[in-house]
Amino acid sequence: MTSHKHFNDLYAFLQIAKLGSFTQAAAILNVQPSALSHRINELERRLKIKLLNRTTRAVSTTEAGQQLLERVMPMFTCIQQELCALSDYTHNMSGKIRINCPERPAFELIYPKIHHFLAQNPGVEIEIFINNNYCDIVAERFDFGVRSGKDLAQDMTAVPISAENTMALIASPYYLSQYGEPKQLQEITNHRCIVIALNPEFRVSEWEFIEQKQLHKIRVPENLVFNSQYLIKQAAIDGLGITWLPRTSVQADIQAGRLIELLNKTAITYPPMYLYYPPNKHKTTAMTAFIELLRWQKNE
């Protein structure tokens, strides 16, 4: 017995055996008693055994029917419990959320918001995997990914989680006192430069600027390479070279005098960061709340 119809007939049998009445069972199952009787007859014919004793006054199980009832009822009860558990997973604030995210948005955009969220929703688990490289979130079973708007695949649903992203060319006062300050874009190549590596093969050593409304790409020397933006910033603060980072990441250091922004009139602005996921992604209540938690508001 493998078809859905057979399982439906078994469920009908369980209702009749439990209630001792075709009429009551038919009302629960929303069918006519005569149709229910026909289904049980067909079930008994397929099994080649009588399951129910029927009189005009009562319905009772045969010995075989009682055995089937005792063995199958717990199975259907377990199935119903599992379905209820799935319903809880969908409608309650619970379950695991897995995010693939570059280092900066993980630290600056996600981590500051999850403390209160987890405190309010203790049934939610969050996994954040730092990955500066590109990732197929579907193949690697992530619920969400985070990328700049310029790097998003068009077939993804994307939710902005930041304002536009302006870059800053920066160095420490100590470095500038030793090596001088570049006055023009091309002079950057004469300096020690600290660059980020997205993976062992690819380094972001082509820095972009806007001058006189034209895009300029400057290929800089790779004097010091890290795959961590925060090590890059610390190296710049320690006077090891010039680097190029999002202004939001270094604004506090600029204001405190630990870093100086250079050629700021040539700073380029990129699209916002986005939380993205496949358009057909099934979202639990917790996932929907997480999206709204991160969604960028203009007044932020």
pLDDT for the residue 2:
47
64-92 confidence digits (pLDDT tens): 989 988 888 888 877 776 665 565 555 66
CATH code assigned to 4-91: 1.10.10.10
pLDDT, average across residues 256-280: 95
- Comparing 4-91 with 165-270, is the CATH topology the same? no
- Under DSSP, is residue 168 helix (H, G, I), strand (E, B) or coil? strand
Instruction: Say whether domain 165-270 belongs to CATH 3.30.590.10.
Output: no
Residues 195 and 166 sit within 8 Å (Cβ to Cβ): no
Residue 168: phi and psi, rounded to 5, are -140, 130
Q: Which two tokens stand for residue 295?
A: 């969604």
42: amino acid identity, one letter = E
Pairing, β 193-199 against β 224-226: parallel
Report whether 279 contacts 114 (CB < 8 A).
no
Residue % of the chain over a pLDDT of 70: 93
Q: What kind and span of H or E run contains 47?
A: helix 33-47
Q: Is the domain covering 95-148+283-294 a CATH 3.40.190.10 domain?
A: yes
Distance of alpha carbon 175 from alpha carbon 171, whole angstroms: 6
How buried is residue 228: exposed, middle or buried, by Cβ count under 10 Å (0-12/13-18/19+)? middle
The string of pLDDT tens digits covering residues 44-55 is 898 899 999 887
pLDDT tens digits, 199-224: 888 899 999 999 999 999 999 999 99
CA–CA dist 79, 17 (Å, integer) = 19
CA distance 169 to 243: 6
Cβ neighbours of residue 192 closer than 8 Å, sequence gap 6 or more: 175, 179, 221, 223, 224, 240, 241, 242
pLDDT of residue 91: 60
Which amino acid is present at 228? S
- How far is Cα 67 from Cα 204, in angstroms, rounded to an integer? 71
What are the boundaries of each domain within the chain? 4-91, 95-148+283-294, 165-270
pTM for the predicted model, two decimal places: 0.67
Which single residue is written with the structure tokens 């996600």?
Answer: 110
